[in-house]
Amino acid sequence: MKIFQNKFFLVCLCIALVLTIVPSVFSIMGYKGLAKNIVGTITMPVRWCITSIANGFEGWAMYFRSMDALNEQNEALKEENDALKQQLEDAALLEAENERLREYLDMKNKYPSFEMEEGMIISHSSGNYVTTFTLNRGSINGIEKNMPVVTPDGIVGYVTEVGLNWCMVSTLIETATSVGAYIPRSGVVGIVSGDYSMRYDGTCKISYMDVDADVQVGDSVYSSGTGSVYPSHLKIGTVTKIEVDEYSRTLVATVQPAVDFSALKWVMVITDYTSVPYTGQTEES
């Protein structure tokens, strides 16, 4: 048979016979201890190999079990971390909503005649500075053209276009915008309007003031209520620069709006109000 022609098989067979016969002979001759010692010595490398292999497999099994446990632990920690992040985000949203409600109530208390509709900005004009934007409020919410748009900080602009569930708003720095204004410290009156050369700096101007008018850098500017759009006594901004118009011989002052248009998310549209126009000098409180 071919199996008996295999050298490796023959060597293994001889070793097996030796391991079987020699210890038996020594045992019969009364040398059981010697036989046991011989068998143990000869089989020691084999037993060492088997033990090492078994230990190796056990080590790999423990490694994979540890990895599985670590993965499960990491997944649990990730889920816990995601849950905590969501809780923080929810808390931040709730706090922002509460802050808006507080501001809305403060404004209602300050201007009890105002009827207002809160709106969220859903898109705005492209460019270096926001001059127009779109709200998620329209005719179904009672919004109409030329309604003033404000925040607790002051005037934002007015409604220029109205759809069913949206409206377009032009800000103070848009060139078509103008507001009757006054300076409470000195009683000086003028017109705040947008200017093409200033719109991308985020500023507007107050003009039609006498050349010797008492206007200073840092003066606050408020709406006077003249015209048909804006209520009186709403903050417009602050004077940052004063120049003399050489052609008209009048003062022209640069005004930094009180509202940061680029950071706006929520505004209020004044749908109805009772306003008393400014008629004379008033000290700013």
Q: Quick count: other Cβ atoms within 10 Å of Cβ 234?
A: 23
Q: What percent of the chain has pLDDT over 70?
A: 71
| Domain definitions of the chain by residue range | 1-110, 115-272
More confident site: 114 or 32: 114
Q: How confident is the model at residue 200 (pLDDT cuts 50, 70, 90)?
A: confident
Of the listed ranges 21-25, 123-127, 270-274, the one predicted with least confidence: 21-25
pLDDT of residue 284: 44
Quote the CA–CA distance of 43 and 12 in Å, as a whole number: 13
In angstroms, the Cα distances linking 102 to 85, 98, 173 are: 26, 6, 28
pLDDT of residue 282: 47
Measured at the CA of 51, the angle between CA 45 and CA 55, to 5 degrees, comes to: 145
Instruction: Let me know if 155 is exposed, middle or buried by CB neighbors in 10 A (0-12, 13-18, 19+).
Output: buried
Q: How many Å apart are CA 268 and CA 252, to the nearest integer?
A: 30
pTM assigned to the model: 0.67
Q: Where are the beta strands (DSSP E) in the chain?
A: 115-124, 132-135, 148-151, 154-162, 167-171, 178-182, 189-193, 204-210, 220-223, 235-245, 250-257, 266-272
Gap between the terminal Cα atoms of the chain: 118
Which residue has 């003031």 as its token pair?
Answer: 209
Asked whether 245 and 252 are in contact (CB, 8 A), the reply is yes
- Which CATH architecture group holds 115-272? Beta Barrel (2.40)
Is the pLDDT at 104 greater than 70? The verdict is yes
